[in-house]
Chains A and B, each alone.
Chain A
Amino acid sequence: AQSVAQPEDQVNVAEGNPLTVKCTYSVSGNPYLFWYVQYPNRGLQFLLKYITGDNLVKGSYGFEAEFNKSQTSFHLKKPSALVSDSALYFCAVRAPGSGAGSYQLTFGKGTKLSVIP
């Protein structure tokens, strides 16, 4: 069974400082990894994904994530945090494969990011 761990319930960072939101995963085979962001009373918005290739992937709003196979991690990063980045961030994983049954995502419990002015 696949799983995702987001070890921090909350991350606080000052505006302008770099931010990191941590994610580790467990899955059979090479993972497909995703980050989503959720604002209050809204659905999840896709930020970025890792499927294959370069370990550093760039996504929306200046976010990037680094895939580390040996550490089974996929940490979300941004060089300079904005107050508007304050939200709930979810990491998700799925196993590779064909067929509709393989498409399911397993989500972490989320990390609340607060950017302090």
Chain B
Amino acid sequence: EAEVAQSPRYKITEKSQAVAFWCDPISGHATLYWYRQILGQGPELLVQFQDESVVDDSQLPKDRFSAERLKGVDSTLKIQPAELGDSAMYLCASGGGSYNEQFFGPGTRLTVL
């Protein structure tokens, strides 16, 4: 069964450092999402791609966060510099099918010290 791949699974960094997360969606899925999930809360959308284009990045803190999907396949989310409040689970999802059903990867747990 096809799955969304993410790496790394866990990342510990110090504040002011740069971090990057990678996501490989299910093959053929044109839509890719990055979410942030703070402990005890539901996922919140950071950015949505359709192929290589950004559909919505209104919730992405653009002073420190960036996301790209250069060839419309895999994607990278970067934080520079990381802050203590960025500690969270970062989830990637890809969408496909008649109703663009979303399938999630295992996530990257980020801890900023």
Q: How many residues of A contact B (CB 8 A)?
A: 23
A117 CB contacts on chain B under 8 angstroms: none
- At the interface with chain A, which of B13-21, B40-48, B73-81? B40-48
Q: Which of A49, A51, A107 contacts B43 (CB 8 A)?
A: A107
On whether the beta carbons of B95 and A108 are closer than 8 Å, the reply is no
Please tell me if A100 contacts chain B, counting CB pairs below 8 Å: yes
Cβ of A90: which chain B residues have Cβ within 8 Å of it? 42-43
A29-84 with Cβ < 8 A to chain B: 32, 34, 36, 41-46, 49, 51
The listed residue (A32, A34, A51, A109) touching B41 by CB distance below 8 A is A109
**Complex Cα distance A114/B22, Å?**
33
**Chain B: residues with CB nearer than 8 A to chain A?**
4, 6, 31, 33, 40-45, 48, 50, 55-56, 89, 91, 93, 95, 99-107, 109
Closest 10 CB pairs of A and B: A107-B42, A43-B104, A100-B50, A103-B100, A44-B104, A100-B55, A43-B106, A43-B107, A109-B42, A43-B105
